Homo-oligomer: A and B are copies of this chain.
Amino acid sequence: MNTDFKEYYAVIFTSELSGKDTKRYEQVAEEMVTLAKQQPGFVGIDSVRNDLGITISYWESLEDIKNWKMLAEHMQAQKDGREFWYVWYSVKICKVMREYGFPK
């Protein structure tokens, strides 16, 4: 086991879009990615959508995740998301315990 591994955190955001207000949704979604990347503790983000959407953002600490959640522009996007854009969403806060990949 690699003892140098530094734990970090993942926010798994799984969602289904309503198909309403699509143009503004896409604009705000893009703005939120740009904004997330500017936040303290941001590590990375992966996002894929077809019928289901999965966006995973990675952060150095739980405090960073909380601060991102509470950021004013992001709060407004969450509110609009519930009102207009999403049929449902799920947020899971996770600790990344270890990782490996290919090629090594």
Contacts and interface: CB of A to CB of B under 8 A. Distances in A.
A17 interface: no
A99 to B, nearest CB: 4
Interface in A56-76: 56
Interface stretch (A22-30, A31-39, A86-94): A86-94
State the copy count for this chain. 2
Interface residues of A, number: 31
Interface in A70-104: 81-82, 86, 88-103
Given A12-B12, A46-B52, A54-B56, A97 B95 contact: yes
Interface of A: 10, 12, 14, 46-50, 52-54, 56, 81-82, 86, 88-103
